[in-house]
């Protein structure tokens, strides 16, 4: 049954839950932080030191509308005051939806978001292939380890020889050649808080500093020493992810398209970034000689120019909304660095598992080979995914709120924009579900939150292994979640 707020009220609640929680986690800019002209806030001169700003998180009109709907939370749909569904009532409500042949083998968990209590499960403790729901683990670990003020810097410094400069990668794959008005994230335009760093800005600042010092000709090299280990994972491909390097522009795409699109990647993202900067320095009146080479920048080198990514929480929201594989591997490496482990596939996986265990998430049998979920050797139980979501919703962990605010909204944003439509038979849940998708060959997963008919917020994880047509499997998964949205299961 409904509690009087109706479907519109529940839809507002679904959007407002994450947004209202996000505001509570806003971090202020430290007093006295200096700024480069036109730049985001910066810290000390070392290329990988970043600081924050005090803007309220806001990734577009949908979130602004959700903030405006805040009174719905307080006045009519306080999840903690709504009845908790009963296990048998949930079983009856789900009915034959969980036996759809398109699902193949189904592992699932449904839990109460307020208490984290498991309400319904099927094979929920068995570790299975999570696909891109792995990004929930990556996000939780990074948010727990990396200070929320952190911004990833791309820097140009003086080289160790006269007339040389070095472009230093700080782990930001979102550095872009595009103007802000051409960028869309999850279907929404960027704003000052979510816009990626600009290569044109970096070139302009570097050129200005060089000219001020009387330098009009340089040789440009580049530094990728922040990361270690292999650039490529054996199970990754050139369509869905770039070689994992701390220096790239537009995630190493062959062409700089919207972040929502995933064309083939270039062979050498770092070299591409250095060449792109060289072109823009030349356009700014600086002669750039020779071909950029990979070097290690001298310690304490004078900074000529620097640009900053959005904060790590904003990057994580983007990663989850668009299921961005390249960004996921970058975020995973930031977690590894914060945990004092190698910034590699193995180091990031070890940091993530250790951090989740420290948060009380059950990690028995969990296997992580990457941070993006592209590897089919990744294994996560459905119960662990609902536990991750429970930690993100817990008042004890406000730093994890971007896990919730970054989840796509069913039928409206990100990777759910074309799901939960009437054709799928799950249209009644549009706007009531926020969830992370996961798709590999033979694997379809979905994990997130849903507001039921009584206004209770539930977490869920559905994990299938099936030979069915992917669209059929996705629709079958969506219909299960729609049953949860329609359930007044006391």
105: which 2 tokens?
């083998």
Phi-psi region of 365 (alpha: psi -120 to 50; beta: other; left: phi over 0): left
Q: Are 262 and 239 in contact (CB under 8 A)?
A: yes
State the Cα–Cα distance between residues 326 and 309, nearest whole angstrom.
15
3-state helix, strand, coil in the chain (%, to 5): 40, 20, 45
Phi, psi of 120 (to 5 degrees): -155, 135
Sign of CA dihedral 212, 215, 216, 219: negative
Residues in the chain: 490
First to last CA, the chain: 9
Closest CA to 486 of 459, 460, 450: 450
State the Cα–Cα distance between residues 406 and 186, nearest whole angstrom.
10
State the Cα–Cα distance between residues 396 and 204, nearest whole angstrom.
44
3-class SS of residue 153: strand
Closest CA to 138 of 128, 147, 146, 126: 146
Closest CA to 113 of 380, 476, 438, 434: 434
Cα angle 345, 349, 351; round to 5 = 120
Sign of CA dihedral 36, 278, 180, 325: negative
179: which 2 tokens?
């103007």
Pairing of strands 184-185, 433-440: unpaired
Q: Which of 135, 198, 372, 436 is flagged as catalytic?
A: 135
Phi, psi of 35 (to 5 degrees): -135, 140
Q: Which of 41, 102, 132, 198 is flagged as catalytic?
A: 132
Q: Tell me whether residue 132 is one of the annotated catalytic residues.
A: yes
Q: Which of 41, 102, 323, 375 is flagged as catalytic?
A: 323
To which residue do tokens 């605010």 refer?
405
State the Cα–Cα distance between residues 448 and 461, nearest whole angstrom.
7
Residue 396: which residues within 8 A CB-CB, separation 6 or more? none
Residues catalogued as catalytic: 132, 135, 323
């Amino acid at each position: 049954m409904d509690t009087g707020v109706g479907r519109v009220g529940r839809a507002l609640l679904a959007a407002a839950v994450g947004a209202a929680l996000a505001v509570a986690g806003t971090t202020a800019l430290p007093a006295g932080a200096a700024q480069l002209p036109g730049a985001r806030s910066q810290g000390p001169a070392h290329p990988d030191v970043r600081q924050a700003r005090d803007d309220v998180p806001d990734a577009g009109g949908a979130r602004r509308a959700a903030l405006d709907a805040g009174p719905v939370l307080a006045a009519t749909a306080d999840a903690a005051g709504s009845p908790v569904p009963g296990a048998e009532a949930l079983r009856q409500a789900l009915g034959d939806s969980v036996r759809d042949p398109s699902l193949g083998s189904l592992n699932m968990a449904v839990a109460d978001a307020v208490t984290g209590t498991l309400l319904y499960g099927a094979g929920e403790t068995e570790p299975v292939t999570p696909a891109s729901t792995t990004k929930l683990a990556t996000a939780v670990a990074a948010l727990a380890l990396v200070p929320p003020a952190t911004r990833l810097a791309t820097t140009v410094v003086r080289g160790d020889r006269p007339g040389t400069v070095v472009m230093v990668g700080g782990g930001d794959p979102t550095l872009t050649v595009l103007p802000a008005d051409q960028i869309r994230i999850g279907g929404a335009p960027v704003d000052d808080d979510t816009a990626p760093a600009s290569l044109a800005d970096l070139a302009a600042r570097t050129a200005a500093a060089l000219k001020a010092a009387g330098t009009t000709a340089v040789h440009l090299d580049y530094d990728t020493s922040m990361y270690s280990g292999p650039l490529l994972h054996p199970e990754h491909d050139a369509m869905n992810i770039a070689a994992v390097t701390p220096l790239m522009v537009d995630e190493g795409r062959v062409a700089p398209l919207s972040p929502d699109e995933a064309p083939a990647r270039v062979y050498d993202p770092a070299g591409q970034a250095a060449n792109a900067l060289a072109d823009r320095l030349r356009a700014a009146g600086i002669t750039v000689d020779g071909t950029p080479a990979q070097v290690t920048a001298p310690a304490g080198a004078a900074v000529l120019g620097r640009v900053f990514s959005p904060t790590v929480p904003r990057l994580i929201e983007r990663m989850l909304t668009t299921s961005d594989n390249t960004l996921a591997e970058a975020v995973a490496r930031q977690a590894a660095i914060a945990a004092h482990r190698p910034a590699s596939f193995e180091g990031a996986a070890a940091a993530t598992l250790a951090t989740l265990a420290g948060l009380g998430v059950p990690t028995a049998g969990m296997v992580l080979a990457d941070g993006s979920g592209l590897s089919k050797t990744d294994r996560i139980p459905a119960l662990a995914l609902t536990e991750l979501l429970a930690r993100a919703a817990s008042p004890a962990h406000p730093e994890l709120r971007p896990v919730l605010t970054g989840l796509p909204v069913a039928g409206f944003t990100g990777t759910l924009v074309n799901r939960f439509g009437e054709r799928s038979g799950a249209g009644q849940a549009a706007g009531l579900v926020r969830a992370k998708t996961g798709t590999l060959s033979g694997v379809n997963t979905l994990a997130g939150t849903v507001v039921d008919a009584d206004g209770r917020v539930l977490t869920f994880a559905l994990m299938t292994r099936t030979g069915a047509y992917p669209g059929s499997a996705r629709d079958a998964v969506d219909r299960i979640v729609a049953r949860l949205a329609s359930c007044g299961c006391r």
